[in-house]
Amino acid sequence: MSLEKFITDMLNVELDELDSITSIPQSDDSIVIKLKLCKKENVSCPICHGKVKTHGYSRKLLHSTLVNRKCTIVYQQRRYICDPCEFTFHEDNPFTSSSNGCTYETTINVLKELKHTNSTYSSTAKRFHLSPTKVQRIFDQHVDIPRKTLPEVLSVDEHYFPNSDQDGLYIFVLMDFCTGTLIDVLPDRKKDCLISYFSNIKNKTWDHKTGLSELNNVKYISIDLTDNYRDIAKAYFPKAIICADSFHVLKHLTDDFRKIRTRCRRNTQDETLVYLLTKFKYIFNFGIDLDNTPRYNKHFKRYMNYRDIISIIFNNFPELERAYELKNQYILFNRTADYKNAKEDLSDLIRKFGESNIKEYEEFYNLLINWNQEIINSFIKVRSKRINNSYIESRNAKIERLIMNAYGFTNFKRTRNRILYCINKDDNYRI
């Protein structure tokens, strides 16, 4: 294949459409391609349809197909001026828009690269011989993701985002529980921001005939244990069932148990017990095999399995044993209960936590009382799946990766679009 044929193929132009084409290798291994299109006959002003004349040439374009070397296209693009109305415009071409300094193919390649979570503006710029600012400009110009319609089951969560150009330290994420599609990303989790957002949806989608709005789509809403979120849910989704995310409930419980273990370690002077509580803290995890094959322990100079170790600990800290048993009872309840028996089982657990007299569990005890109905509601299943924020938590890991790897993510609008663009497979760019 000739160089001319290769160039015309990559630029989507036919040889007979070219007035001239020249390739010039550069000393830095880059290449400059100079080209000029044949002049079209009967060109007229798009405004008044008057007669026009050529009013200058040339435009520099960047092209990314040759990813192993920088490619600059010097395109002698005609600029026309209309004699009657003095309107100026450029001739049309098949390889670039008038508002972009790159070829269409370069623009598309950049946008495809930015679809990957691990791609940054800087790495994309390096790959296609552009500046990070140019890559950002391309992204901003071609990616603007609209909000999705509110779903039947709405999951909401927050994500730490301290460098935003907005006032908040957290962004607020809305997701369709059933599909895993992100609905929208808000710049703040504060009550005022949420009120403004949902009020706007209500006002824009209100149907005076039915007395309903898009907010009525939501039948269930899964939230973490934040009073503000519950207040918003009750105010804007009064007929929706509010479900407490089980992940956040368990996190509160495991954090409280860790505080108990830490207190026991801090209050003992026995170096052996300090050693066991520090080195073997993982044996308190739910479901771990305590009757594993014994292994030689240098400290005790004998073979021991996890049950031997945990027995030594519990013999010295009976309160820790009670805390451990309560923790495991709740985790077992969370894994095995269903909506029918959840109310009775939870009531029994609340009583046990209240009677334990373990100070670190007082907050969790109050949490179980305060969020009693929402925890029970979390056992409801929709399409055979228990309602929770597991989907959105998995998306949070990708969001964190995007924020950590990103260049210039202080711009919230760009951040929002990048998150939706990368995580929702069906969200795409426009040319």
pLDDT at 76: 86
Is 117 inside a domain boundary?
no
Residue 136 region, left (φ>0) first, then alpha (ψ -120 to 50), else beta? alpha
Is 147 inside a domain boundary?
no
Is 207 inside a domain boundary?
yes
Dihedral over Cα of 393, 394, 395, 399: its sign: positive
* Cross-sheet strand order for the sheet of 59-63: 18-25, 31-37, 71-75, 59-63
Q: Retrieve residue 292's tokens.
A: 């594993």
* 158 in the same domain as 98: no
Taking only the tens place, the pLDDT of each residue in 191-222 is 999 999 999 999 999 999 999 999 999 999 99
Residue that finishes a domain, picked among 43, 73, 103: 103
Rounded Cα–Cα distance for residues 1 and 105 (Å)? 20
Q: Which residues contact 50 (CB under 8 A, 6 or more apart)?
A: 44, 82, 83, 84, 85
Rounded Cα–Cα distance for residues 294 and 219 (Å)? 52
Tell whether the model's pLDDT for residue 31 goes beyond 90: no
pLDDT at 141: 92
- The arithmetic mean of pLDDT across residues 355-382, rounded, is 97
Tell whether the model's pLDDT for residue 3 goes beyond 70: no
Residues in the chain: 431
- The arithmetic mean of pLDDT across residues 273-283, rounded, is 97
Residue that finishes a domain, picked among 103, 124, 142: 103
Structure-model confidence comparison of residues 398 and 148, the more confident one:
148
Class of residue 317 by CB neighbours under 10 A (exposed 0-12, middle 13-18, buried 19+): buried
* 259 in the same domain as 219: no
Tell whether the model's pLDDT for residue 288 goes beyond 70: yes
pLDDT at 280: 97
Tell whether the model's pLDDT for residue 32 goes beyond 90: no
Rounded Cα–Cα distance for residues 349 and 333 (Å)? 9
Residue 344: band (very low, low, confident or very high) from pLDDT cuts 50, 70, 90? very high
pLDDT at 393: 75
- The arithmetic mean of pLDDT across residues 130-135, rounded, is 89
Number of domains in the chain: 3
Tell whether the model's pLDDT for residue 58 goes beyond 70: no
* 32 in the same domain as 47: yes
Residue 77: band (very low, low, confident or very high) from pLDDT cuts 50, 70, 90? confident
Q: Give φ, ψ of 84 to 5 degrees.
A: -70, -45
* 167 in the same domain as 235: yes
* 288 in the same domain as 177: no
Residue 164: band (very low, low, confident or very high) from pLDDT cuts 50, 70, 90? low
Q: Retrieve residue 359's tokens.
A: 């100070």
Distance (Å) of CA 334 to CA 159, 253, 330, 365, 418: 25, 12, 6, 15, 35
Tell whether the model's pLDDT for residue 383 goes beyond 80: yes
Q: Retrieve residue 256's tokens.
A: 């409280």
Residue 105: band (very low, low, confident or very high) from pLDDT cuts 50, 70, 90? confident
pLDDT at 249: 97
Residue that finishes a domain, picked among 88, 103, 118: 103
Q: Which residues contact 154 (CB under 8 A, 6 or more apart)?
A: 174, 175, 176, 177, 183, 218, 220, 221, 222, 237, 240
3-state secondary structure of 120: coil
Residue where the block lists tokens 């990103």 = 406
Mean pLDDT of the residues in the chain: 90
Structural domain containing residue 277: 246-377
Tell whether the model's pLDDT for residue 406 goes beyond 60: no
* 198 in the same domain as 254: no
Structure-model confidence comparison of residues 219 and 34, the more confident one:
219
Q: List, in sequence order, every beta strand (DSSP E) within 177-240.
A: 182-186, 220-223
Rounded Cα–Cα distance for residues 345 and 134 (Å)? 59
Tell whether the model's pLDDT for residue 108 goes beyond 80: yes
Q: Retrieve residue 190's tokens.
A: 């504060």
Tell whether the model's pLDDT for residue 102 goes beyond 70: yes
State the DSSP H helix or E strand holding residue 214, giving kind and residue range, or none if neither: none
* 211 in the same domain as 267: no
Rounded Cα–Cα distance for residues 426 and 424 (Å)? 5
Domain CATH code at residue 228: 3.30.420.10
* 367 in the same domain as 293: yes
Is 119 inside a domain boundary?
no
In this structure, are residues 399 and 292 in contact, taking their beta carbons and an 8 Å threshold?
no
Tell whether the model's pLDDT for residue 422 goes beyond 80: yes
Which residues make beta-bridge pairs with 8?
A: none
pLDDT at 197: 97
Rounded Cα–Cα distance for residues 343 and 365 (Å)? 15
* 368 in the same domain as 409: no
Taking only the tens place, the pLDDT of each residue in 291-316 is 999 999 999 999 999 999 999 999 99
pLDDT at 59: 72
pLDDT at 265: 97
Is 351 inside a domain boundary?
yes
Structure-model confidence comparison of residues 283 and 106, the more confident one:
283
Give percent of the chain with pLDDT exceeding 90: 64
Rounded Cα–Cα distance for residues 57 and 79 (Å)? 6
Tell whether the model's pLDDT for residue 163 goes beyond 70: no
* 283 in the same domain as 368: yes
pTM for the model: 0.82
Tell whether the model's pLDDT for residue 407 goes beyond 60: no
Find the radius of gyration of the CA atoms of the chain: 31
Distance (Å) of CA 19 to CA 14, 15, 56, 159: 11, 9, 16, 56
* 201 in the same domain as 256: no
- The arithmetic mean of pLDDT across residues 323-348, rounded, is 97
Is 161 inside a domain boundary?
yes
* 404 in the same domain as 354: no
Tell whether the model's pLDDT for residue 33 goes beyond 90: no
pLDDT at 98: 57
Tell whether the model's pLDDT for residue 430 goes beyond 80: yes
In this structure, are residues 18 and 37 in contact, taking their beta carbons and an 8 Å threshold?
yes
Which residues make beta-bridge pairs with 268?
A: none
Lowest model confidence (mean pLDDT) among 37-46, 144-153, 267-276, 341-350? 37-46
Taking only the tens place, the pLDDT of each residue in 171-199 is 899 999 999 999 999 999 999 999 999 99
Is 87 inside a domain boundary?
yes
Is 121 inside a domain boundary?
no
Rounded Cα–Cα distance for residues 325 and 320 (Å)? 9
Q: Which residues contact 24 (CB under 8 A, 6 or more apart)?
A: 31, 32, 33, 34
Residue 27: band (very low, low, confident or very high) from pLDDT cuts 50, 70, 90? confident
Lowest model confidence (mean pLDDT) among 128-137, 145-154, 346-355? 128-137
